[in-house]
Amino acid sequence: MSNRDMNRDMQGRRSGRVVKVKRNRSKRKRRIIRTLLPPLVAVVLIAVIVIVAIKTGLFESFSYSDTQADLFEYYGVSDELSAVLIKDHEISDERIIVKDSELYIPYDTVKSEYTDRFYHQKTDDTIIYTTETDTFKTVVGESSYSNNAGNQMAPYAITYRENAPEGDIIYMALDYLKLFCNIEVKLCGGNGEPYRAVVKNEWGSINTAIVTKEHALRTEMDKKSAKLSDLVEGQSLTVIGQEGEWTRVETEDLLIGYAQTEFLSNVQTASETPVNDALEETFTSLTGSEKVVLMWHSIAGDAGNDTFYSATEGTRGINVIAPTWLSLSDDNGNIRSFASGSYVDNAHAKGMKVWVVADDFNSEGNASQVLPYPDKRSALISQIISKTTEVGADGINIDFETIGTETGEDYIQFIRELSLEAHKSGLVVSVDNYVPKAFNRHYHRREQGIFADYVVIMGYDETYAGSAKAGSVASIGYVKEGIEETLKEVPADKVINAVPFYTRVWEETPKTDEEIAATAPGEEVIPYNLKILATPSMKQEDELLSNYNATKTWDETTMQNYSTWKIGETTYEVWLEDEVSLSAKLGLMKGYGLGGMAGWEISLAAPYVWDVIEQVYK
């Protein structure tokens, strides 16, 4: 074989090997591809599924709890006989009764939260609501009520009584309450769900939002928490507050829980529509534009009427005088009277109106035995008005100071009924009150300010015979507190503040060591025994200080002149009611825009009183 042939043969074999190598490589690639392709496709498919799942929330459906909350447990309701009260879009601890598809709330709650106008006349178990032109009455347990239009029937028991260990409870139907108060009532639940209710009497604005994607309303800010309900796209919710990824909301059916913030939109503020369909009430008032300057005149018998000229001699600026003429004479509503027509004529001649004082303490009768009974109360009112009109007087001043808490409701009903009857005769009605404190809230100053024409503050007796420490009869702080507390309930033009024309001299005798040691644990140790030495009038103060060679110093805290002296081991103290203290009080009163001032009592006033009054009320 030639060299050329040998070379050709070798090249052929090399080419064969190359082709074979290439063929083998292609086979290996195809095997690798066949091996890797399925896992790769799987990875790609998984990635696609993950992306789709994320986009569609598929994973979320598996990570969220689908446990339904126990609504009875969530709302703290144990049965379907009561409804949880939703207040200010929050679940409260208060419950109201669901009875025969009607909602009932305790009568005491009606009085404290909605209106103080209702009166429970316990002597005949009647609930009364008084307006200027009508009186609504219903007997506890009945489904009817009466008013000027006759007897009216309701499709429910208006009130009912429930026995309880702590005492009977009267409940009132909210539908009846709606006749007199502008309230909005909403009840949801039942049929296996706890009742939920809203009772609104105040309206403002709320924030609302729209659900953009279906998801669950949950008990807590946690996707693992139980769900209350399913929220659907387009549903409107009341927004209570947003807390990051979660928003506290309230549904139309009063379910309150947490929605996901990302699934809410179109948050906006909407004004609530007030309910305004209750009985419209207006009350006639004989309150005048002229400031009242009233002086009480203490008269203890018919002969006291003869002191009119001596009591009013030298006075100036007085436009009302109030003689103490009427008192309860028995427990049947009868009165004792010192009323005098000639006294009224004399007062009118001096430019003074006369408001007849009727009291319950200079008497033989007991208000607690009169006011609860409608026939006795009516007899008392009739006699007060007839005695006042008989002598031609202009008004009535009620000075009932012994009313106990148990008689408070009867007392304010007496004021309502008296005011309405007195106004028919053109008589002004004023009512005397202690400085507002917790112990006398049952005098119902707010209601007085609606029915009566003037509410009088007896702005004195800050320190009295039963006090543990010596002090002022009427410090400026005490007067200020009385005015401000009264103005929270009564319009300023109906408020009269009374000032004292007297003071008290305190006698402090050191206690023995045994008496000090007998002080109860936790009580303040007061090292002296206290009693009143004297109760001098303004007229007598200078003589008092002169007799004891005492000097006076100005006390900025009380805005009064103060004096003290000692006789042996006994200390005496007095806070004076004089020209400067009176000026301070009247200036304060004028600053509050009150309807006027009063003074106890005209015969105790010093001559400078009229100068001060003229300076303030000229």
Domain boundary among the residues 181, 197, 213 is at: 197
| Residue pLDDT, tens place only, 309-347 | 999 999 999 999 999 999 999 999 999 999 999 999 999
% of the chain at pLDDT higher than 90: 86
The enclosing domain of 403 has a CATH number of 3.20.20.80
Is 320 found in the same domain as 228?
A: no
Full domain range(s) for residue 94: 72-197
What number is the average pLDDT over the span 441-446? 97
| Residue pLDDT, tens place only, 180-229 | 999 999 999 999 999 999 999 999 999 999 999 999 999 999 999 999 99
In a domain, 415, yes or no: yes
Write out the two tokens for 45: 């498919």
The enclosing domain of 255 has a CATH number of 2.30.30.40
What number is the average pLDDT over the span 274-278? 93
Is 430 found in the same domain as 294?
A: yes
Rounded to whole angstroms, how far apart are CA atoms 610 and 616? 10
Instruction: Give me the half-sphere count of Cα atoms (radius 13 Å) on the Cβ side of residue 55.
Output: 6
What number is the average pLDDT over the span 110-121? 96
Is 396 found in the same domain as 330?
A: yes
- Tokens 């009592």 sit on residue: 601
Pick the residue with more confidence: 50 or 205? 205
In a domain, 146, yes or no: yes
Strands 454-458 and 495-500 turn out to be parallel
| C-beta neighbour count of 198 within 10 angstroms | 18
Q: 98 forms bridges with which residues in the sheet?
A: 103
| Residue pLDDT, tens place only, 419-441 | 999 999 999 999 999 999 999 99
pLDDT in the model for residue 80? 85
Sheet containing 169-173, strands listed edge to edge, beginning at the edge strand earlier in sequence: 159-162, 169-173, 102-106, 90-99, 82-87, 193-200, 184-190
Is 215 found in the same domain as 142?
A: no
| Residue pLDDT, tens place only, 128-181 | 999 999 999 999 999 999 999 999 999 999 999 998 777 899 999 999 999 999
pLDDT in the model for residue 17? 58
Is 435 found in the same domain as 394?
A: yes
Q: Please give the mean pLDDT across all residues of the chain.
A: 92
Q: Give the helix/strand (H/E) hosting 256.
A: strand 256-260
The pTM of this model reads: 0.85
Rounded to whole angstroms, how far apart are CA atoms 399 and 360? 7
Is 214 found in the same domain as 193?
A: no
Indicate the residue type of 278: A
pLDDT in the model for residue 74? 96
Domain boundary among the residues 454, 470, 501 is at: 454
Structural domain count of the chain: 3
Q: 264 forms bridges with which residues in the sheet?
A: 211
| Residue pLDDT, tens place only, 348-400 | 999 999 999 999 998 789 999 999 999 999 999 999 999 999 999 999 999 99
Is 230 found in the same domain as 104?
A: no
Q: What is the CA radius of gyration of the chain?
A: 42
What number is the average pLDDT over the span 31-45? 63
Describe the crossing of helices 579-591 and 476-487 by its angle, rounded to 10 degrees. Answer: 20
Question: Is the pLDDT reported for residue 591 higher than 60?
Answer: yes
Decide: 606 and 539 in contact? Cβ < 8 Å. Answer: yes
Question: Is the pLDDT reported for residue 40 higher than 80?
Answer: no
Q: Which residues contact 57 (CB under 8 A, 6 or more apart)?
A: none
- Tokens 């000692």 sit on residue: 566
Domain boundary among the residues 246, 271, 296 is at: 271
Q: Report DSSP letters for 396-436, one per residue.
A: EEEE-----GGGHHHHHHHHHHHHHHHHHTT-EEEEEEESP
Decide: 576 and 541 in contact? Cβ < 8 Å. Answer: yes
In a domain, 104, yes or no: yes
Indicate the residue type of 309: Y
| C-beta neighbour count of 44 within 10 angstroms | 10
- Helix and strand numbers (H, E) in the chain are 15, 33
C-alpha of 266 from chain center: 37
Write out the two tokens for 206: 């709320």
Pick the residue with more confidence: 299 or 58? 299
Residue 76 phi/psi, 5-degree rounding, is 70, 30
pLDDT in the model for residue 44? 62
Write out the two tokens for 440: 């006398």
Is 450 found in the same domain as 329?
A: yes
Is 126 found in the same domain as 208?
A: no
Is 444 found in the same domain as 346?
A: yes
Write out the two tokens for 385: 């008005």
Is 428 found in the same domain as 367?
A: yes
pLDDT in the model for residue 25? 63
Indicate the residue type of 540: Q
pLDDT in the model for residue 363? 78
Strands 82-87 and 193-200 turn out to be parallel
